[in-house]
């Protein structure tokens, strides 16, 4: 079923349109801490915002999953008539994702694969692709070409002569 049909109008996430402005509002002197490569910064909100911007730039409608029983998934997108759940992880514990594991086990959802964007190298485990965060730029939406049908009336006109 298309995600649009199951969309909840009372459940949504807001993202800032500019990651630089978000970082400026995030915390005092965070820009200097980022440049100094400090490890104790929680980049979760910034990473999610970057992913949201990139996916929207590639034409994806962004959906969010939140279920009391199964948990929360950062993004759901439709690609090739399939739903692709995406988790964004900024820390070292990127392999811990209960909600993603929970929904991958629900056979009714028929999820073929999932994506975890993280700070580590490429790894595939149990239909979950662990991908470096910068590779979000390679998630492209397949677009179908619009066909224009034209009737060639010249052939009909020549037959009537």
User: Mean pLDDT score of the chain, rounded to an integer?
Assistant: 81
Sorting pLDDT into bands at 50, 70 and 90, what band is 2?
low
CA atoms within 13 A on the CB side of 67: 11
Give the orientation angle of helix 44-57 with respect to helix 19-26, to 10 degrees: 170
Residue bearing the bigger pLDDT, 44 or 132: 132
The whole domain housing 115 covers: 3-160
Predicted local distance difference test score (pLDDT) of residue 160: 62
Domains held by the chain: number = 1
Give the pLDDT confidence of 10-50 residue by residue, as tens digits.
666 777 777 777 777 776 777 787 788 777 767 788 889 89
Q: What CATH code is carried by the domain that includes residue 30?
A: 3.40.1350
| 43-88 tens-digit pLDDT | 788 889 899 999 999 999 888 888 888 888 999 998 777 889 999 9
């Amino acid at each position: 079923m298309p995600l649009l049909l199951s969309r909840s109008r009372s459940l949504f996430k807001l993202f800032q349109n500019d990651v630089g402005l978000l970082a400026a509002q995030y915390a005092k002197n965070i820009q200097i801490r980022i440049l100094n490569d400090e490890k104790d910064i929680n980049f979760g909100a910034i990473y999610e915002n970057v992913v949201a911007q990139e996916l929207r730039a590639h034409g994806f409608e962004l959906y969010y999953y939140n279920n009391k029983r199964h948990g929360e998934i950062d993004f759901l997108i439709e690609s090739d008539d399939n739903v692709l759940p995406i988790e964004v992880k900024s820390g070292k514990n990127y392999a811990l994702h209960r909600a993603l594991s929970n929904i991958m086990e629900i056979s009714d959802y028929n999820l073929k694969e999932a994506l975890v964007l993280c700070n580590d190298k490429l790894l595939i485990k149990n239909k979950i692709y662990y991908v470096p965060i910068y590779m979000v730029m390679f998630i492209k939406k397949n677009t179908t070409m619009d066909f224009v049908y034209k009737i060639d009336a010249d052939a009909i006109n020549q037959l009537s002569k």
